[in-house]
Structure 1
Amino acid sequence: MTTWLKLSSAALAAGLSLGAHAQGAPIKVGLMLPYSGTYASLGNMIENGFKLYVQEQGGKLAGREIQYFKVDDESDPSKATDNVNKLIKRDQVDVLVGTVHSGVALAMAKAAKDSNTLLIVPNAGADAITGPLCGSNIVRSSFSNWQPGYSTGVVMAQRGHKRAMTITWNYAAGSETVKGFTEAFEKGGGKVIKDLNLPFPNVEFQALLTEIAAQKPDAVFAFFAGGGAVKFVKDYAAAGLNKTIPLYGSGFLTDGTLEAQGASAQGLMTTLHYADNLETPRNNAFRKSFALTYKANADVYAVQGYDAAQLLSAGLAAAKGDIGKKDVIGAAMHKATVDSPRGKFTMSAAGNPVQDMYVREAKGVNNEFRSVAVKALADPARGCKL
């Protein structure tokens, strides 16, 4: 009897020690982002934004140190499942943060659901992530593809354009953004006369620009981002189209790209959930902190990374730092109100931001705020069953 008690006491002590160690161990955050190719700069800005928020909290969230693991997803959907499993199975991360490319993010969402791993999407707008693939362990700190497309459609219809053409890459982000645009533009009395697209990440635009010139629409709506956005805007101006056919875009057309686009982008109107010169104490403090830390100007990608960390912080605070309480963390992230540099936003039941969408004008190297395009725009979350 005495021996059994001694053994039981020893086992209990060992268990308590393990639990305490687990609670004191760093939380493993797996960053699966593009660190090479067209979207490399976007991946870096997201990572920097995320780490800035953690740094501002003294390097801890809810009293827990953060340990980072990184995988370059190369914006390649064919490698996405293998890449995400490096983080889930090899590194055994507690939280996934990623990514930019919608096709890659869809694979991440499936893997997160299968393994019940927490996933925070800091950019990719694939509608399915907060639609049919929605989950209690999945949230997004950015937007759905539908949102900036829809808000630009509202603006173009209000400006009196009647005949529009669209142009984008032929992949999820492009086609879904265009669908959102068409829905709002045609609801507002406009008509999309033709949708043009080319394979991702092809940047040979000449034939399509010739077709735009021939069709003579009232305006063009474009979705491109990163290096592709730089080349498209330059080519559009070089063809002289900007003088006769106004170009509009989802904000990614000019976000993080204005310096490279130069004079070609000046005056371009876009809509997005962030503008560089939002005159709020929160945004001003964020931009100053980012510039001091990274010697670079923040952009929407940095904001989305920063807010991904804010969502994780809200979840961990509700669980008192216990990463094992995934249900508590997931529920708290879904109910969070985020004090973001873009302005405060809430989360939809499906885990997508309900946020103001802004009209911005490209001036110098900034996308300057002009007006609110749509207040508190919520994604319809079609197909989500939570």
Structure 2
Amino acid sequence: MKNLPRLALAPVFAAACVAAFATGAQAQGQAPLKVGLMLPATGTYAALGDMIEKGFKLYVQEQGGKLAGREIQYFKVDDESDPSKATDNVNKLIKRDNVDVLVGTVHSGVALAMAKAAKESNTLLIVPNAGADAITGPMCGANILRSSFSNWQPGYSTGVVAAQKGYKRAMTITWNYAAGQETVKGFAEAFEKGGGKVVKDLTLPFPNVEFQALLTEIAAQKPDVVFAFFAGGGAVKFVKDYDAAGLKKSIPLFGSGFLTDGTLQAQGPSAQGLFTTLHYADSLDIPKNNAFRKSFALAYKQNADVYAVQGYDAAQILGAGLAAVKGDFAKRDAMLAAMRKATVDSPRGKFTLSAAGNPVQDMYLREAKGENNEYRAVAVKALADPARGCKL
């Protein structure tokens, strides 16, 4: 080499520099990891999508803005909470933006379309809210995980509590869509197993909030208890209307936790004293939750809720997988295996993932007090979704 002319050495030197740079880049996690956030930015669920995004980004910020050395680049699409637009919307992220990871969404109907697209394209999908049972049931896949719950879980755990309280006749009320139907089925399964009977299921189209005719029917039937599934703006109006109709004083109202999560301030006095079950309680007194709520409040000048927790844990699950492969996303099989084996140190309490990719988690009985859903008891310990129809 020492006898080569200087110009001949230039390509050799350049090639060596390129190789060194490539090695350095690889050590630093290569190109940014593309994360596609498909969440509601408008409509009934806009506030929920905002909290999920804030929770996800908070965890990334706590890790210095990177996960396992990889910079995170965000791409966003408003899912519009519209299943008819879901396939086109998710393909903006998959085909246009070529994201590595999809995170979404709130509406179960939209999430089902996301799961189908994720399976067809083999894109990693982490679901930070939508509880559609099929996602970790018949549509389950090695590349699909959930950081939230199945619709069955809060419905089932509320049914357990209602039966334990000695109620015998129940009515249910919800929107006529997947989340409502599946949550109500979970409630009925546990309530009837505990000796009760659901005498009538009431539904109305999503996102209709004209409840008066159905409230009149509840008043006429006089059940021992009513179980409701609503969320967001619809939950606010339902709880207020239930109280205004005089039913709160005469017929106990129980709900999936989403009835009062993120809605208590708007519901005001009408929500006070309502019992719900969910995988999170604002006043859960464990170190992780206390630290999380403080960090969230400092970052965003507002209190965290279950949606923020689910977004935070979606980032934790992704981080666990990336850490196992030292940020090398190309080692997807090893990364996915690590994600499924992870024990997530969540603000809700530690949880693991089932073989189908759904959290196995404690479900809490909460009571609405002030602007918090306060912890009262563990309704069901380490409740695992049955994952009916899942074949991996």
With normalisation by structure 2, the TM-score equals: 0.94
Counterpart for residue 339 of structure 1: 345
Counterpart for residue 180 of structure 1: 186
Matches within 5 A, 1:252-291: 252-291=258-297
- Secondary structure at the aligned position of 2:380 is classed as strand
Return the index of the structure with the highest Cα Rg: 2
Verify the 8 A CA contact 1:138 1:330 in the aligned structure 2.
Answer: no
Counterpart for residue 224 of structure 1: 230
CA deviation string 1:36-82 (max 9, x = no partner): 00000000000000000000001010011101000000100001000
- Secondary structure at the aligned position of 1:166 is classed as strand
Does 345-354 or 17-26 show the bigger shift? 17-26
1-side partners of 2:20 and 2:255: how far apart?
56
Counterpart for residue 4 of structure 1: none
Counterpart for residue 197 of structure 1: 203
Determine whether 1:367 maps to 2:373.
Answer: yes
Determine whether 1:325 maps to 2:314.
Answer: no
Determine whether 1:108 maps to 2:106.
Answer: no
- Offset at residue 329 of structure 1 (A): 1.6
Alpha carbons of structure 1 residues 353 and 259: separation in structure 2 relative to 1, 3 Å: same
Alpha carbons of structure 1 residues 74 and 16: separation in structure 2 relative to 1, 3 Å: farther
Does 11-20 or 261-270 show the bigger shift? 11-20
2-side partners of 1:11 and 1:161: how far apart?
77
Does 7-16 or 356-365 show the bigger shift? 7-16
Question: Residue type of the partner of 1:243?
Answer: K
- Secondary structure at the aligned position of 1:338 is classed as coil
1-side partners of 2:300 and 2:14: how far apart?
50
Runs of 4+ in 1 over 6 A off after TM superposition: 7-20
Verify the 8 A CA contact 1:118 1:326 in the aligned structure 2.
Answer: no
Alpha carbons of structure 1 residues 292 and 157: separation in structure 2 relative to 1, 3 Å: same
Q: CA RMSD in A?
A: 1.8
CA deviation string 1:250-277 (max 9, x = no partner): 0000000000000000000000000000
CA deviation string 1:132-186 (max 9, x = no partner): 1111111000000000000000000000000000000000000000000000000
Matches within 5 A, 1:1-386: 21=25, 23-386=29-392
Equivalent residues, number: 381
Unaligned runs of 5+ in 1: 1-6
User: Identity of aligned pairs, percent?
Assistant: 83
1-side partners of 2:259 and 2:366: how far apart?
11
CA deviation string 1:294-330 (max 9, x = no partner): 0000000000000000000001011110112221221
Unaligned runs of 5+ in 2: 1-10
Question: Residue type of the partner of 2:160?
Answer: V
Alpha carbons of structure 1 residues 160 and 8: separation in structure 2 relative to 1, 3 Å: farther
Alpha carbons of structure 1 residues 327 and 10: separation in structure 2 relative to 1, 3 Å: farther
1-side partners of 2:196 and 2:247: how far apart?
21
2-side partners of 1:217 and 1:12: how far apart?
79
